[in-house]
Amino acid sequence: MRDVDFLGLLARRGFSLGLAVYFSTLLLCMPATAAATCGKKLVWAVNSYVPYMVNGPDNTWSGLDIDLIGAILDRAGCEYELIEMPGKRALQEVRKGAVDIMGAASITAERKEFSHFSAPYRSERITVFVRKDDAAARVLASLAEALDKHITLAAGLGAHYGAEYGSFSQQLVAAGLLQLNDSLERRMNMLARGRVQGVIEDEVAGAGTIRDLGLGDQFETAPITLNDEPVHILLSKQTIDANTLDLINAAIAQLNQEGTLQEILQRYRLGAH
């Protein structure tokens, strides 16, 4: 095999230096998956959340996490079946061992009591969607700048968008610069009609709604990242052994090194369609 600069390759594909080092180390330490398979058919709990998990009219699941985790499990040699249930109930079933895995999991002390966590397979990035014809909003780099330049924004009612949003949201509301509601579709229509200059949202969820509304040619993202947190596959300690966890982590490392996970993710970003 020819020598490959894995660290440089991952960095060029958009990973931070820390994640690039993590995956390079993981790739060297983990076993190859070709000769091994999971010891059981995995029960994977899913719950509709567009565009991460979407249940079609024929009960066929699609979406970003379906594609990403499906590719990981296939590479790891794991058979699986999907069972729909709300996230809170799914965590209870993971604790009991009735469910084997869940996606899009953040690590918490409570969850670590009954779960393993895979290596991160993607991140959840919060950004600001703006109109391409809005010169001021297009270069927005911080919420402090939005406050200073009186750039109007919209965000989800009761949503968590990271520390910077937590620090500035009340000031923006008080200044009449931040509108809150519980409909992402409504917020994107507000942006299209010029009622606000930016919409704070998860990068993938925002892009999916924009495409559904047929507004993809009007919007882009500003050069601002309010939050960027890795998410993991959560696996039940009752049913998942160390070998299966190693296979899944090896698959994540290999698919990242090949660029497969980034290629899947790119299909769901704004401008992909």
- 193 has a pLDDT exceeding 80: yes
Mean pLDDT throughout 258-270?
95
**pLDDT given at position 37:** 76
Neighbours of 193 (CB within 10 A): 8
Q: Work out the mean pLDDT of the chain and round it to a whole number.
A: 89
Mean pLDDT to the nearest integer, 56-65: 93
CA-wise closest residue to 50 among 30, 31, 38, 64: 64
**By percentage, how much of the chain surpasses pLDDT 90?**
81
User: Which has the higher per-residue pLDDT, 250 or 9?
Assistant: 250
CB contact burial 138-173 (16+ within 10 A = b; e otherwise): bebeebeebbeeebbbbbbeeeebbebbeebbeebe
pLDDT recorded at residue 272: 56
64-121 per-position pLDDT tens digit: 999 999 999 999 999 999 999 999 999 999 999 999 999 999 999 999 999 999 999 9
pLDDT at 39: 81
Answering whether pTM is above 0.75, one says: yes
Interval 197-255: pLDDT, tens: 999 999 999 999 999 999 999 999 999 999 999 999 999 999 999 999 999 999 999 99
pLDDT digits (tens, 9 = 90+) for 126-175: 999 999 999 999 999 999 999 999 999 999 998 889 999 999 999 999 99
Query: CA-CA-CA-CA torsion for 83, 182, 207, 67, nearest 10 degrees?
Result: -10
Query: What pLDDT does residue 20 have?
Result: 52
pLDDT attached to residue 169: 96
d(CA 71, CA 262): 12
The predicted structure's pLDDT at residue 271: 72
